[in-house]
């Protein structure tokens, strides 16, 4: 239902240089599927999300949703199809109008897009409040009267009230407390099952992505370095960057033994990135070839693609992965 | 191991102008030399207030109502402000969550490290500079000589947190309190910072109090754990024991609601099940339930829990919990 081809988002700087925020990303999402994008800050995952929503304009590429090319649509046409794709943002504190009552905030998309008879809209809002676990009486309250978790429920209600086919979730739980994160993740999971939604789910947290997503792309400096269905990725990851994310994720079970493989340095700047492999500067396996020649995303097995010259030849530094090969 | 910092039966209150609310109610913690104590809980449970009490940095309207905070033999609750000022940054120091906002934007890295040393150690410019350089090397900042002249905005988030750690370590403190030191950082950088803290701790024998809500960070860093809920310490014990067999339903609840990364074969076979949930949220100040404070959110709560405050149950030499119905050791493994 969603096909993204060669999506690029570049921002020119006043110095004449260019920020390659998203640099040639392609993927597709089927109905009912959750497609995860993981990466560190600056990897371009949030820009990808915003480009899908046309909150930033793509520099190049195609975004096809249910037969419409969103990348080139004008504002009027975009508004007519907006109901089909909605977004949940990271920070539920800044994404709600503090002076608008909760019910009005959830109803606003219906009013703006002219969905349903005005009399029916209130019923839909009420049903939506119930669906996200809020009491319908809470419609009269203002955002500051809700906790962070409840606010995120409101944002989810507002995104889902137009009955979209695709919801882009940009770090929807990372601003929330652990116990509340679980509540929201379970809610998103349940809504997806009930409504046959597709998600594009952006996160820096591998464990969250593994829990929610059916397919996952690992993003580094504007590019996908590895894409696979979730089970394959977490069982047989082949890119050294994916390994480093896995090694860095603290895990209550594995504890200390896991973190021997630690990357040095910070992610480099997406301003005029290096010519070869963009990860070469931090990669413990990098050779001269990596620094000179750019690896392309190539298919390893069905549905598993890796952008590394040595994919499949390197021994994973994590014992669990080495075992499952 | 010798205790370095002991917090005994600490009670902290806040005066809102209309009422006085209890913030911490009898928190007891022991920090030992060369060890890391993780203080765990959701926001609003009193983790940061415990840390700020120890540093003598409680915000306005908050005050210590009772209890002792012993740094060695000295009770920090009783000492005068001048003495506290002499200890802060010297015998004990703090690493804050946001390296962006806790560094001074108009001072160079060198100045910010040297400032601490000059204040506490009677060192002059050249010597202080030498120590600043040594600290930058210790926190593994590349090309430290050139970084001395850098301003915070010229550094990445990870580098800034390293500078914060360098400042905290400059006077070789006995105690470091790290309040969510990696929350603002990327996972790969978080792993670097944790490793750095562990290495430095091994070299200097510093005691670390790590404030966190992340059970993964606990597993990674802690020797001992204290779990706070609504101003009370509801479970405390050695990390290995507490993580393997959490006794309090809140502790096992926190563990069950964190998604676990499954790698290798486990990723292929593990069933997709919902995350464990703790319904509701931490009660706001002034609305703590009278008996067991966790009872309204607890699946196991009985009438007794709502009526009578729980008593301490001892599960091992150092492992205790505050609960009428603690988990049995074998059913304690969190379902997730």
Residue B11, SS3?
Answer: strand
Residue recorded with tokens 């120091």: B93
Kindly state whether residue A106 falls inside one of the protein's structural domains: no
pLDDT at B108 over 50: yes
User: What pLDDT score was predicted for residue B260?
Assistant: 83
Domain that holds residue A248: 228-325
Q: How far apart are CA A110 and CA A161, in angstroms?
A: 7
Burial code (b: 16+ CB inside 10 Å, e: under 16) for A190-206 equals ebbeeeebbbbbbbbbb
Residue A258 has pLDDT above 60, yes or no: no
Phi, psi of B225 (to 5 degrees): -135, 140
Cα dihedral sign, B142-B146-B152-B153: negative
Q: Which residues pair with B64 in a beta bridge?
A: B12
pLDDT value at residue B331 = 46
> How close B161 comes to chain A (CA, Å)?
12
- Per the domain annotation, does A156 fall within a domain? no
Distance CA B116, CA B121 (A): 8
Walk me through the domains of chain B, giving residue ranges and CATH numbers.
3-91+171-260+275-332 (3.40.50.300), 99-170 (no CATH)
Rounded to an integer, what distance in angstroms lies between the CA atom of residue A67 and that of residue A2? 9
Pairing between β-strand A215-220 and β-strand A198-203 as defined by DSSP bridges: unpaired
Q: What residues of chain A lie within 8 A of the CB of B158, using their CB?
A: 266
* Chain B residues whose beta carbon lies within 8 Å of the beta carbon of residue A181: 257-258
Q: Which phi and psi (to 5°) does residue A51 adopt?
A: -65, -40
- CB count within 10 Å of CB B106 equals 8
Closest residue to B191, CB basis, from A177, A262, A320: A262
CB contact under 8 A, B258 and A262: no
Whole-number pLDDT of residue B258: 85
Say if residue B273's pLDDT is above 70.
Answer: no
Q: For A51-65, A219-233, B179-193, which range has the lowest pLDDT when averaged over its residues?
A: B179-193
- Average pLDDT score over residue span B271-285: 82
pLDDT value at B2 more than 90: no
Is there a contact between A208 and A184 (Cβ–Cβ < 8 Å)? no
Residue A93 in any domain: the answer is no
Residue-wise pLDDT tens digits, A132-157: 999 999 999 999 999 889 999 999 99
pLDDT at A252 over 60: no
Share of chain B above pLDDT 90, in %: 68
> B196 CA to chain A: closest CA distance, Å?
11
Does position B185 have pLDDT exceeding 70, yes or no?
yes
- Please answer yes or no on whether A179 and B257 come within 8 Å at the CB atom: yes
**Strand A60-65 relative to strand B92-95, pairing:** unpaired
Section A289-302 average pLDDT:
94
Per-residue pLDDT at B332 exceeds 70 = no
What pLDDT is stored for residue B68 in this prediction? 96
Closest Cβ opposite residue B258 in set A252, A322, A323: A252
Residue recorded with tokens 């046959």: A196
State which residue of chain A sits closest to B186, comparing Cα positions: A40
Give residues 245 to 264 of A whose Cβ lies within 8 Å of B: 245-256, 259, 262-264
Q: Which residues of B touch A318 (CB under 8 A)?
A: 263-264
| A276 band by pLDDT with thresholds 50, 70 and 90 | very high
Average pLDDT for A212-237:
95
- The stretch A283-311 carries a mean pLDDT of 94
pLDDT > 80? residue A204: yes
Give every CB contact of residue A264 below 8 A, 6+ residues apart in sequence.
Answer: A282, B192
How much is the average pLDDT of B241-252? 93
Which residue shows structure tokens 């563990």?
B255
ipTM of the complex: 0.86
d(C-alpha A127, C-alpha B162), whole Å: 49
- The model's confidence at residue B270, banded by pLDDT at 50, 70 and 90, is low
Do the chains contact at A254 and B217, CB–CB below 8 Å? no
Question: Is residue A296 included in any domain, yes or no?
Answer: yes
Cα–Cα dist B210/B130, whole Å: 29
DSSP-based three-state secondary structure for B67: strand
User: Nearest CB to B257: which of A178, A235, A248?
Assistant: A178
The total number of structural domains in chain A stands at 1
Q: Residue A260: pLDDT above 90?
A: no
Rounded Cα–Cα distance for residues B336 and A260 (Å): 26
Q: pLDDT digits over B133-153, tens only?
A: 999 998 888 889 999 999 999
Residue A218 lies in a domain: no
Q: How confident is the model at residue A251 (pLDDT cuts 50, 70, 90)?
A: low
A141 contacts chain B (CB < 8 A): no
Chain A partners within 8 Å of B97 (Cβ): none
- B109's enclosing H/E stretch is helix B109-121
Per-residue pLDDT at A253: 55
pLDDT above 50 (res A36): yes
Q: Which of B43, B190, B265 sits opposite A248 (nearest CB)?
A: B190
- Confidence tier at A324 by pLDDT (50, 70, 90): low
Residue A92 contacts residue A175 (beta carbons within 8 Å): yes
Answer whether residue A29 is part of any domain. no
Q: Is residue A192 part of a domain?
A: no
Q: What is the mean pLDDT of residues B71-81?
A: 94
Q: Please, what is the average pLDDT of chain A?
A: 90
The residue of chain A nearest to residue B265, with distances taken between CA atoms, is A324
pLDDT greater than 70 at residue B128? yes
Chain A residues 80-139 within an 8 A CB cutoff of chain B: none
Reported as a pLDDT band with limits 50, 70 and 90, residue B333 is very low
Give the pLDDT confidence score for residue B266 in this predicted structure.
Answer: 85
Residue A177 to residue B191, Cβ atoms within 8 A:
no
Q: How far apart are CA A70 and CA A50, in angstroms?
A: 12
Whether residue A15 is contained in a domain is answered as: no
What are B301's two structure tokens?
């709560």
Q: Best-predicted range by mean pLDDT among B55-64, B190-199, B267-276?
A: B55-64
Chains A–B, number of C-beta pairs less than 8 Å apart: 154
Instruction: Give B272's pLDDT tier (boundaries 50, 70, 90).
Output: low
3-state per-residue secondary structure call for chain A: CEEEEEEEEEEECCCCCEEEEEEEEEEEECCCCEEEEECCCCCCHHHHHHHHCCCCCCCEEEEEECCEECCCCCHHHHHHHHHHEEEECCCCCCCCCCCCCHHHHHHHHHHHHCCCCHHHHHHHHHHHHHHCCCCHHHHHCCHHHCCHHHHHHHHHHHHHCCCCCEEEEECCCCCCCHHHHHHHHHHHHHHHHHHCCEEEEEECCHHHHHHHCCEEEEEECCEEEEEEEHHHHHHHCCCHHHHHHHHHCCCCCCHHHHHHCCCCCCCCCCECCCCCCCCHHHCCCCCHHHHHCCCCCEEEECCEEECCCCCCCCCCCCHHHHHHC
pLDDT, chain B, mean: 90
Q: In this complex, which of A181, A185, A210 lies closest to B262 when CB atoms are compared?
A: A210
SS (H, E, C) A152-213: HHHHHHHHHCCCCCEEEEECCCCCCCHHHHHHHHHHHHHHHHHHCCEEEEEECCHHHHHHHC
Whole-angstrom distance, CA of residue B170 vs CA of residue B93: 10
Question: A189 — contact with chain B (CB < 8 Å)?
Answer: yes
For residue A230, list chain B residues with Cβ-Cβ distance below 8 A.
267
Q: What is the pLDDT of residue A256?
A: 40
Contact A247, B191 (CB under 8 A): yes
Whether A259 shows a pLDDT value over 80: the answer reads no
């Amino acid at each position: 239902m969603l096909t993204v081809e060669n999506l690029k988002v570049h921002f020119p700087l006043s110095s004449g240089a260019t920020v390659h925020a998203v640099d040639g990303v392609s993927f597709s999402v089927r109905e009912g599927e959750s497609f995860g994008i993981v990466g560190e800050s600056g990897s371009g995952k949030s820009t990808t999300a915003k480009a899908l929503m046309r909150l930033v304009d793509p520099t190049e590429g195609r975004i096809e949703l249910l037969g419409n090319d969103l990348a080139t649509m004008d504002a009027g046409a975009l508004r007519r199809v907006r109901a089909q794709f909605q977004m949940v943002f990271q920070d539920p504190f800044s994404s709600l109008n503090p002076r608008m009552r909760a019910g009005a905030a959830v109803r606003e998309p219906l009013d703006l897009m002219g969905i349903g008879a005005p009399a029916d809209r209130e019923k839909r809002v009420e049903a939506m409040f119930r669906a996200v676990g809020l009491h319908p009486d809470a419609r009269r309250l203002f955002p500051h009267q809700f906790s962070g978790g409840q606010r995120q429920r409101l944002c989810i209600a507002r995104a889902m009230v137009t009955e979209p086919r695709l919801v882009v979730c940009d770090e929807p739980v990372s601003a929330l407390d652990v116990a509340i994160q679980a509540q929201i993740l379970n809610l998103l999971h349940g809504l997806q099952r009930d409504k046959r939604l597709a998600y594009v789910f952006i996160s820096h947290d591998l464990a969250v992505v593994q829990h929610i997503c059916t397919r996952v792309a690992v993003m580094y400096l504007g590019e996908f370095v590895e894409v696979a269905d979730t089970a394959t990725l977490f069982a047989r990851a082949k890119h050294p960057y994916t390994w480093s994310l896995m090694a860095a994720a603290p895990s209550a079970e594995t504890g200390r033994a896991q973190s021997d493989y630690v990357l040095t340095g910070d992610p480099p700047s997406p301003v005029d990135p290096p010519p070869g492999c963009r990860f070469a500067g931090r990669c413990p396996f990098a050779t001269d070839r990596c620094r000179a020649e750019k690896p392309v995303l190539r298919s390893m097995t069905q549905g598993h693609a890796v952008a590394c010259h040595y994919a499949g030849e390197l021994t994973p530094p994590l014992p669990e992965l080495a075992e499952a090969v | 191991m010798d205790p370095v910092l002991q917090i005994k039966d600490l009670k902290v209150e806040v005066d809102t102008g209309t009422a006085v609310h209890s913030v911490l109610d009898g928190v007891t913690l022991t920090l030992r030399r060369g060890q890391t104590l993780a203080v765990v809980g959701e926001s609003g449970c009193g983790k940061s207030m415990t840390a700020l009490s120890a540093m003598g940095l409680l915000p306005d309207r908050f005050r210590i109502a009772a209890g002792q905070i012993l740094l060695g033999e000295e009770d920090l609750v009783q000492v005068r402000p001048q003495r506290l000022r002499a200890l802060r940054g010297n015998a004990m120091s703090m690493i804050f969550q946001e390296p962006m906002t806790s560094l001074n934007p108009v001072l160079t890295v060198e100045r910010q490290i040297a400032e601490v040393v000059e204040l506490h150690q009677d060192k002059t410019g050249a010597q202080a500079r030498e120590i600043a350089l040594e600290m930058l090397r210790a926190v593994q900042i590349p090309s430290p000589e050139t970084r001395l002249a850098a301003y915070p905005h010229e550094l990445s988030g990870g580098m800034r947190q390293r500078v914060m750690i360098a400042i905290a370590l400059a006077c070789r403190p006995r105690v470091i309190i790290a309040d969510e030191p990696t929350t603002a950082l990327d996972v790969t950088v978080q792993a670097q910072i944790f490793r750095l803290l562990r290495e430095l701790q091994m070299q200097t024998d510093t005691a670390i109090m790590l404030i966190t809500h992340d059970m993964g960070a606990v597993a990674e860093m802690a020797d001992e754990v204290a779990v706070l809920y609504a101003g009370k310490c509801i479970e405390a014990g050695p990390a290995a024991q507490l993580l393997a067999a959490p006794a309090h339903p809140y502790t096992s609840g926190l563990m069950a609601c964190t998604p676990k990364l499954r790698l290798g074969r486990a990723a292929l076979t593990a069933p997709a099940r919902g995350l464990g949930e703790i319904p509701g949220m931490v009660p706001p100040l002034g609305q703590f339930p009278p008996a067991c404070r966790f009872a309204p959110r607890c699946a196991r709560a009985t009438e007794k829990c709502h009526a009578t405050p729980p008593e301490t149950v001892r599960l091992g030499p150092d492992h205790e919990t505050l609960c009428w119905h603690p988990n049995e050791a074998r059913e304690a493994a969190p379902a997730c």
